[in-house]
Chain A
Amino acid sequence: MKIVGLSGSKVGSKTRTAMNYTIEALVAKYPEVEVTLIDLAEYNVQFSDGRNFLEYEGDTGYVTKTIMEADAIVIGTPIFQASIPGTLKNLFDLLPVNAFRDKIVSMLVTAGSAKHYLVAEQQLKPILSYMKAQIVQTYVFIEESDFHRKEIVSDDVLFRIERLVEDTVVLTEAYGKIRAEKDAEYDF
């Protein structure tokens, strides 16, 4: 099983911090899973120009191909200007319309305050649905007050991250099995 953790912003440290916890929890609990963390702050990803994702080179090609090869993706995103950051939206624009078909996608959202809670529900989930993701419905929402000096200081958040990791792996395993059984039934 291949899982990609995607930190979707170039700005700030909260999302990356939370993603580090997530990756640690994933590796500790499921050492057999192949985990890759992509922090968009560390890559020079170009804007989508409409070409097939295989035709991008350099960082853009690496990021798109790594995501396309994953069985599951944990997206970490901050909320900017009442929406997801442009870096994350651009990544979606770089991929084909059915990019998340047969993939599990889960979400972790960081924000300055609880006022942003529904942004992921109303703006991120519809994009993932359109791209045919199997979504882990419950996401982890983390506020400014849960962080202190690049550490998470809320046990509640840590427990939620653990559950998000488990839900992502369980759903990936379950969906993979169901898909394989159904595909075998087609008998071709």
Chain B
Amino acid sequence: MEKYRINPDKGLEFGIYTLGDHLPNPETGERISAQERLKEIIEYAKLADQAGLDFFSVGESHQEYFATQAHSVVLSAIAQSTKNIKIGSSSTIISTSDPVRVYEDFATIDLISDGRAEIIAGRASRIGLFDLLGYNVRDYEELFEEKFDLLVKINEEEVINWEGEFRAPLKNASVLPRPKNGFLPIWRAVGGSPASAIKAGYAGVPMMMAHLGGPVSVFKRTIDAYRAALQSRGFDPAEFPVATAGFFYAAETSQQALRDMYPHINEGMKRTNGQGFPKQHFAQGVDPHNIMNIGSPQQIIEKILHQHEVYGHQRYIAQIDFGGVPFERLMKNIELIGTEILPAIKKYTKKK
């Protein structure tokens, strides 16, 4: 765990992530400019840092209604304006990037942030960026596997000799600069299915599991599959952190939380995926055994502690801002996390 800058004795880590979506606020129909949205995201990271949260990450999406295509540039600004919080991507689409350039960027962010940068590498849930960036979607799987392997190799070896299908060979190449402590935590992003988790296990890398909603117990199968795959390849699961990522919203009551959040999720998903989120499914999100962390601060504390008991994971990251959520509501959520939720979670999950 230490290798990945995680100390489980200190309790479950709590973070925030944004996909960098740039959607209208359905309550007003208005959309702020991309510039305002980017500045809000940087401000959001600052608040998370000040509230004592452990992690903040920004996603890479190249489709319409997103603003953080150049997510590493955004993270660089966040590196400069925060002090203690760990920062990362959620996710970096390694399939359509050059791992050498990605590593250079994140090692640089690591130096600027004084050793706080991490990479979460994913395969992209939408495929428009393959056309945009000049890749063939038929190579979807191989592009990811080859480039992810190379990224991990660059992290582990200072002098690289490598040959592959999708990039020119590297001969005695040094990828510089090196990160502050010589190594970056590099996670594999997993969409929630066991089949995908197994690949992270085979690769012997930490797993970041994203989820929409559903029973906590169903996602346990994914985490079990990951740990079993680690073991099958001779890795010790106790050395590899697991993180979960999903919707979060705290308000005075669970009903208020549902009211505040639902239109943003529903309208945002209609625009980005073409289908809304059924109310029936969303209403189940407040159930103590549903993985969505929506409710009053006390209910959320209980939900997260239940998840921790079932998963034994090391980090949870919350998505609060999807779908044009007004900034004052994000501020309120950070405040509730910092003053009520985080202290309780740390208290009950740290080693005594």
User: Which A residues lie at the B interface, using CB under 8 A?
Assistant: 49-55, 65, 68, 96, 98-99, 101-102, 182-183, 186-188
Contacts and interface: CB of A to CB of B under 8 A. Distances in A.
27 contacts: A49-B137, A50-B127, A50-B137, A51-B126, A51-B127, A52-B126, A52-B274, A53-B274, A55-B126, A55-B127, A55-B128, A65-B274, A68-B275, A96-B275, A98-B275, A101-B275, A183-B279, A186-B279, A186-B280, A186-B282, A186-B283, A187-B255, A188-B255, A188-B258, A188-B259, A188-B262, A188-B279
Nearest to A183: B279
A101 B127 CA distance: 24
B278 interface: yes
A96 B274 contact: yes
Interface in B301-337: none
A45 B258 CA distance: 40
Contacts of A96: 273-275
Contacts of A53: 274
Contacts of A183: 279
A67 to B, nearest CB: 11
A65 B282 CA distance: 24
Contacts of B126: 51-52, 55
Contacts of B127: 50-52, 55
A52 B273 CA distance: 7
Contacts of B275: 68, 96, 98-99, 101
Given A187-B255, A188-B255, A188-B258, A54 B274 contact: yes
A176 to B, nearest CB: 14
Contacts of B278: 101-102
Interface string B240-272: 000000000000000100110010000000000
